[in-house]
Amino acid sequence: MIHIDWKKLHSFVLASAFALTASVVLVPVSQAMAQVRTLPDFTDLVEQVGPSVVNIRTLEKVTPSDGSGGVDEQMLEFFRRFGLPIPNMPNVPKNPHQTPPKNHPPIPEDSQPRGVGSGFILSADGLIMTNAHVVDGADEVLVTLTDKREFKAKIIGADKRSDIALVKIEAVGLPAVKVGDVGRLKVGEWVMAIGSPFGLDNTVTAGIVSAKQRDTGDYLPFIQTDVAINPGNSGGPLINMRGEVVGVNSQIYSRSGGSMGISFAIPMDEAFRVSEQLRVLGRVSRGRIGVQIDQVTKEVAESIGLGKAQGALVRGVETGSPAEKAGVEAGDIIIKFEGKVVEKSSDLPRMVGSTKPGTRSSLTVFRRGSQKELTVTIAEIEADKVPAKAVEKVEKPKASSAGQALGLAVAELTDAQKKELKVKGGVKVEAATDAAARAGIREGDVIVAVANVAITNIKEFESALAKLDKNKAVSVLLRRGEWAQYAVIRPAR
C-alpha cells in the first residue's frame, strides 16, 4: 500500500503554480507589444490626395433617327418605371421623373451619356491623366473636380497600347498629385484607390499589393492588387501610404462585371513616360525590329542546350525589317537586348518598344548551340502585317524513308519552295507518325535543323540522324508556313 503525504504534495503544487505564474509575468510587456500590428489609417491620405482626383464623364452626339431604334414599348416602359436613361433613342419622350445626377449640369439635347471614369491631376495648369478606354470615341469630355466645378476637357492624346490618355482643362492653381517610385513598391504593401465606381464620386477603397510585374498579355506589366475596383474606377490613381501615385487603375478580373478581389494598375513610371510623349507629340513613338516571337519552353531549352527556359523564340522575320537586315533568322532565340537578359518572350516587345527609333541596339541570339552578337537599328512601330498566304505546291518529289524510327518521312525541297519559305535548304515532312506526331510535327512542315545541326537536304538529314543516340530526345527546328518553332521528339519507351 502506497502512503501519500498530502501536506508535502499540497506544498509542491502551490510552489509549482507560483513558479509558472512568475514565469508568465516576467515576459517583458514591450516585447509582446512589438508583435502587435495595427491597421493603417487612410484619413490623412484621403485629405491629401482626394482633391487631385477627378470624375470624368464622356458624351457622344446623337444621330437623329426614326422611332425607338427597334426597342418595343414594353422595354421603354421598363426604363421609364425604374428611372433609367433611355439609350440610343433621341426621339423617345424623356422620363419626366428622371433628373440629371446631382451637381451635374443638364446634358445637351443633342448629346447622350457615353461613359463614366476617373482621372487625376498631373499639373497645376490642368493636365489630367486617365485611361485611353475612358475617352475612346467620346465627342465631349467633362471633368468634375471635388469642389464641384466642371470643365470641358480637350483630349491631348491617347495611347491604346498602354491604355493611357492625357486631357487638358483650362484652369490654374490645381492640386497636382505626387508621383511615387514604383521600384520601391513591395508585395504586401498597403495601397489605396480613389475614383468613381458606378458613377459614385470620390469613393475610397483600400487593399494590398498582390503581385508586381504581372503579365496579362498586354503591352505593359501590371501591378496586381486586391483593392476593390469597379466600372468607373478606370483611370483613377493607385496611392501608396506616402500619398504618392504608383499606378493607374485600369483592369479587373471578373466573372460578374464587379470586383472579385483581383485588379490591375498600370505602373506609374510607364504611364508617366507615355504621358510625356502624349504631351509633347500627341502620340507615342515606339521601336520595333520586325519579328514574330513565341515563348521558349523548358523542354525546348533543355533539348537545344540553352539550359534555362528564357528568351524569345523568333518564329518569323519580316522581309526588309531591321531584324532581317541585322541577320536575325527564324529559329533564333533572342536572349539579350542591349545587354539586358530577356527572361520571357513578352519582355522583348517592352524593351524594344521603349527604345527610340533610329537607335543602334545590340542583340544576343542563341543559334544552333552557340551565341551570336548582332546589331539592329530600331525602326518605328507600325501596323501589324498579315502573313502572306502559302503558295501551292508545284511538284512533289519522291519521299525518303529517312527518319522512320522517329516516325518521319521527308522529301527534298524544290527551288520554288525554298524561295517561297525564304530558306536556304531543309527537308519537307511528307508524313509524321508515332514519336514525330506526338511531338506535334505534321505533314507540310519543313525541317531546317536537327539537334542544332543545320539541314539543307535529305543527305544531311540522314547524316544528322545517324549520329543521334536513339534512346534520347532530339530537338528539331522546323518551319510551318512563315513561322518557325521547335519540336522535341522523344523515342518510344
Q: Check if the beta carbon of residue 125 is closer than 8 Å to that of residue 77.
A: no
Amino acid identity of 332?
Answer: D
C-alpha cell at 429: 515532312
Region of residue 82 (phi > 0: left; psi between -120 and 50: alpha; otherwise: beta) = alpha
- Terminal alpha carbon distance of the chain: 75
Catalytic site positions: 133, 163, 234
CB atoms within 10 A of CB 85: 13
Compute the distance between CA of residue 258 and CA of residue 84 in angstroms, rounded to an integer.
Answer: 20
C-alpha cell at 371: 551565341
Compute the distance between CA of residue 74 and CA of residue 407 in angstroms, rounded to an integer.
Answer: 65
Question: Has 233 been labeled as part of a binding site?
Answer: yes
Region of residue 434 (phi > 0: left; psi between -120 and 50: alpha; otherwise: beta) = left
Relative to beta strand 427-432, strand 178-179 is: unpaired
DSSP characters for 263-294? EEEEEHHHHHHHHHHHHHHSS---EE--EEEE
DSSP characters for 413-469? PPHHHHHHHT-S--EEEEEE-HHHHHTT--TT-EEEEETTEE--SHHHHHHHHHTS-
Question: Has 234 been labeled as part of a binding site?
Answer: yes
CA angle 157, 159, 163 (to 5 degrees): 120
Question: Has 452 been labeled as part of a binding site?
Answer: no
Compute the distance between CA of residue 389 and CA of residue 344 in angstroms, rounded to an integer.
Answer: 29
Q: Which residues are annotated as a binding site for substrate?
A: 133, 163, 232-234
Q: Which residues are annotated as a binding site?
A: 133, 163, 232-234
